[in-house]
Amino acid sequence: MLRMGTATAAGSPALQDASVSSFVLLSEAVEIYLGQKGKGRPVTFHSTAERACGYVTDACCDKHLNQYTKADANAFQDSLIARGLAGSSLTRVFGTV
């Protein structure tokens, strides 16, 4: 099965090399998002997006978007719990990301 160009012609999965990924890093995606959607928005809009994605990079490193896994999501959730965030704050941060 060919999904998002991650399989070779023979059908075996291709190794994703970070240096040749066509996906952007999470930090780059945040910059693009804020450049497009953040114009005219209050400072809190920008700081919220940057903070939430900063939590992800603290927990899982800054990766290309296609390289995040469910294990990364679990590590991210665990790191938010370790920070002492309430359940409603966890939901809000996940929604922001």
pTM (predicted TM-score): 0.73
| Predicted confidence (pLDDT) at residue 10 exceeds the cutoff of 50 | no
DSSP 19-87: GG-SSPBHHHHHHHHHHHH-TT--HHHHHHHHHHHHHHHHHH-S-BGGG--HHHHHHHHHHHHHTT--H
pLDDT one-digit tens code per residue, 59-84: 999 999 999 999 999 999 999 999 99
At 10, is the secondary structure helix, strand, or coil?
Answer: coil
- And the tokens for 37? 């959607």
Gyration radius of the chain's alpha carbons: 16
Average pLDDT over residues 28-51: 95
| Predicted confidence (pLDDT) at residue 87 exceeds the cutoff of 50 | yes
